[in-house]
Structure 1
């Protein structure tokens, strides 16, 4: 089952590697016999699914999460291996969605309006008056 990142981008199963191990989380007696912990490995640098520009953006944004061009997602919060697989796929999709998202538009710097400056100074003056009333008059 492919991982749906966006409406147009889906990562096929052939580009995903799975590893399973015993989880230290919940599971009762079955925790010692079932390989419910899941690690999902996706090679971002070597993928054919994403365009080169998105690969560069993802590698730059993920930084330390990427080891040898691959990102590893671990899931062990559920007792079932199937639910942990689903959780890992959801996490990978969300991670990639954020990593390949277009950068926000640059902010144009603006000056505060005259009214905003006036209100700020009035508030400062009012606050100063309040604090003056709290001072002791023993001097």
Structure 2
């Protein structure tokens, strides 16, 4: 006997409406998982970007220090404006070379989580 779908208040119509509601509830239950995965992806991107910025700052600072200029300004200026407040640079001279270490605070999108700073060091020969 073939199945005929009827319009109105038949059993098939009620089941279809219930299924649509069930899918909406399942989606709402899965939404927090999707949000956590998205936040983790954004946080990993921020960590990688901050590490890249620390490397750029260390190279700029070492370049300036090798020319016997103020390395602190060059180091901080090489970092994006929104990361510059959490940037610290230190230099160590060792004869014919100078090393600059840049420390940049990693921003967190999750309140209360601290990922620490990204540290990168660059060494350049002194320009005599």
TM normalised by structure 1 equals: 0.26
**Higher helix residue share:** 2
- Structure with the greater alpha carbon radius of gyration: 2
Q: If the length of structure 2 is used for normalisation, what is the TM-score? A: 0.28
